[in-house]
Amino acid sequence: MKKKFTYGTYAYEYELVREERKTLSLTVRPDLSLIIKAPIVASEERIEQFLKRKWVWLQKQVDYFGKFKRKKYQKEYISGESFLYLGRQYQLIVKESDQNKVVLSRGKITLFTSMFAADKQYNKLLIQRWYRSMTKLVFSERFEKVWKLFDYKKMPALTTRSMDKRWGSFLNSDKILLNPRLIGASKECIDYVICHELCHVRYRDHNTNFYKLLEQKCPKWEKVKDKLENYLGNA
């Protein structure tokens, strides 16, 4: 739901999302869009007062992103580029070698390639292959950890699928999907998404019982969800 907030000579348009939560949160995305998440029962007055209290912070964020806003560009897979992995930015270093491998260390992703370092397509192939391998490994580890929080008898199969608007999806009692982009988020964020989908094993809808279970299994889920969306944006 699109809303407008006016404060003095300033006017902002924001998206209001009402959901089962206790607190209000404000997010300023790099594209300068604003999102307010509010409890279902929050009044317009409460939201207005919240925005006024956050105005100084809001203006600083808008100024910051306005100054450094850049158009999205396609990765070239050359040394110096930045890549997200488990909540951190890593600088890519490409080196020629007699074997192909990727080494993660000290804030850098070092790609050793048996081809020329300037072969962007081959570099891309190797990096994407590494990401797929790590995604499968990390997701499996986190899934087994979070699964232990529940008392379910049958473990759903875990798989990945690129999704435009979701981080995860519970298909049925046999399968849970995770968005591979989650590999760029912290383990805490990955755990939250897995926990969310496992709660759907018991409650299909986002009803009161669902959120009670989510709160029990992931007490800080609201903050983690906000961190995930601030970091990676909407899926």
Quick one: three-class SS letters along 152-215? CCCCCEEEECCCCCCCEEEEECCEEEECHHHHHCCHHHHHHHHHHHHHHHHCCCCCHHHHHHHH
Q: Are residues 129 and 173 in the same domain?
A: no
Q: Are residues 120 and 143 in the same domain?
A: no
Report in angstroms the alpha-carbon separations of 225 from 4, 157, 206, 235. 24, 23, 15, 12
Q: Is residue 73 part of a domain?
A: no
**Residue 128's domain spans which residues?**
82-133
Domain with residue 147: its CATH number is 3.30.2010.10
Q: Give the pLDDT mean for 43-68.
A: 83
pLDDT tens figures, 101-154: 999 998 899 999 999 999 999 999 999 999 999 999 999 999 999 999 999 988
Q: Is residue 76 part of a domain?
A: no
Secondary structure class of 231 (helix, strand, coil): helix
Q: Are residues 220 and 147 in the same domain?
A: yes
Per-residue pLDDT at 118 = 93
Per-residue pLDDT at 31 = 74
* Total domains in the fold of the chain: 3
Q: Are residues 116 and 159 in the same domain?
A: no
Q: Are residues 158 and 189 in the same domain?
A: yes
Q: Is residue 74 part of a domain?
A: no
Q: Are residues 128 and 206 in the same domain?
A: no
Is residue 173 pLDDT above 90, yes or no? no
Q: Are residues 184 and 104 in the same domain?
A: no
Q: Are residues 120 and 161 in the same domain?
A: no
Average pLDDT, the chain: 89
Q: What is the pTM of this model?
A: 0.73
What percentage of the chain reaches a pLDDT higher than 70?
Answer: 93
Per-residue pLDDT at 60 = 82
- pLDDT band (50, 70, 90) for residue 32: confident
Q: Is residue 160 part of a domain?
A: yes
Per-residue pLDDT at 86 = 95
